[in-house]
Amino acid sequence: MKALITVAASAVIISGCASALRGTTEPVTITTEPAGAAIRTSLGHTCPASPCTFQVSRKADFTAFADKPGYHPNSVFIGTKPSNIGRAAVASNMMATGFVGTAIDSSTGAALDHHPNPAHIILAPEASQPPAVSPAMVPAF
């Protein structure tokens, strides 16, 4: 009987834990226009040609840089924010374990998601000129 209670209590605790349910990392995909640009991140990830997917700590904000011959390099900041699923897991955790599990989830970033994900970087051709403003787009005064 004691073993059954222990198993049931463990199931409740684990079911409410965002760290156990969602993990502490997530895949982040980076695409470019045009495709095929080399990608590197401020976290040290590299990929020779986009699209690229990296496994990233949920609590890590970072910048992705894209570079392709014939195009101006560009970058995008990828931050973190609480997800709805993460919020629900943390709330469930709070009810099941109190502050201990919530503290663990907060320290691991398990309730966070990266945004934007996927991230898209647009590269402008090196020889490009800014687009001309058409007469229809000029406001009348």
Task: Round to whole Å and give the CA distance between 95 and 5.
Answer: 18
Q: Is the dihedral of CA 45, 51, 56, 61 positive or negative?
A: positive
3-state secondary structure of 21: helix
8 Å CB contact between 56 and 26: yes
Tens of pLDDT, residue by residue, the chain (141 residues):
666 555 444 544 444 455 556 688 999 999 999 999 999 999 999 999 999 999 999 999 999 999 999 999 999 999 999 876 544 455 555 555 555 555 555 667 778 899 999 999 999 999 875 444 434 344 444
4: its two tokens: 């059954």
Beta-sheet strand order (sheet of 52-57) = 52-57, 25-33, 119-122
User: What tokens appear for 26 in the block?
Assistant: 């997530």
